[in-house]
């Protein structure tokens, strides 16, 4: 549906961009053949245009760039989640005796003998 509409001369820029994305995906899938999701994501990051592009190169190129950005954002989210999970585990880590690790108060003589 979007592919046909994007081919029309009177198509809006958004419809042409959608057609470019579909053309890019078709070209990538034709080159890769049967692939895993990770293979497709790696190809998006590589940001290489397929050899046989079925549509306007300008729109296909823009879609390839946007899909590479998408993968970068996904990687940032994954890294942030990993960091937050690690921080949560460190803060809630239990001692050998089974009690939760205490968090020092603002004025604890063990850490600040001058209070």
Residue 89, both tokens: 């585990």
Judge contact between 57 and 69, C-beta under 8 A: no
* Cα 29 → chain centroid: 19
Q: What digits encode the pLDDT tens for the residues 56-89?
A: 888 889 999 999 999 999 999 999 999 999 988 8
Residue ranges covered by each domain of the chain: 2-92
Residue 33, both tokens: 């053949």
Q: What digits encode the pLDDT tens for the residues 32-55?
A: 889 899 999 998 998 888 887 777
pLDDT band at 91 (very low <50, low <70, confident <90, very high): confident
Indicate the pTM of the whole model.
0.65
- Residues 70-93 as b/e (b if ≥16 CB within 10 A, e otherwise) read ebeeeeeeeeeeeeeeeeeeeeee
């Amino acid at each position: 549906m979007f592919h046909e509409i994007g081919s029309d001369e009177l198509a809006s820029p958004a419809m042409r961009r959608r057609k470019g994305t579909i053309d890019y995906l078709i070209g990538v899938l034709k080159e890769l053949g049967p692939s895993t999701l990770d293979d497709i994501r790696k190809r998006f990051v590589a940001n290489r245009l397929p050899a046989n592009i079925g549509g306007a190169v300008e729109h296909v190129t823009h879609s390839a760039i946007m899909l590479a950005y998408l993968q970068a954002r996904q990687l940032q989210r994954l890294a942030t989640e990993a960091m937050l999970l690690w921080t949560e585990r460190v803060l809630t880590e239990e001692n050998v005796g089974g009690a939760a690790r205490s968090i020092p108060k603002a004025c604890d003589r063990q850490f600040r003998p001058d209070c």
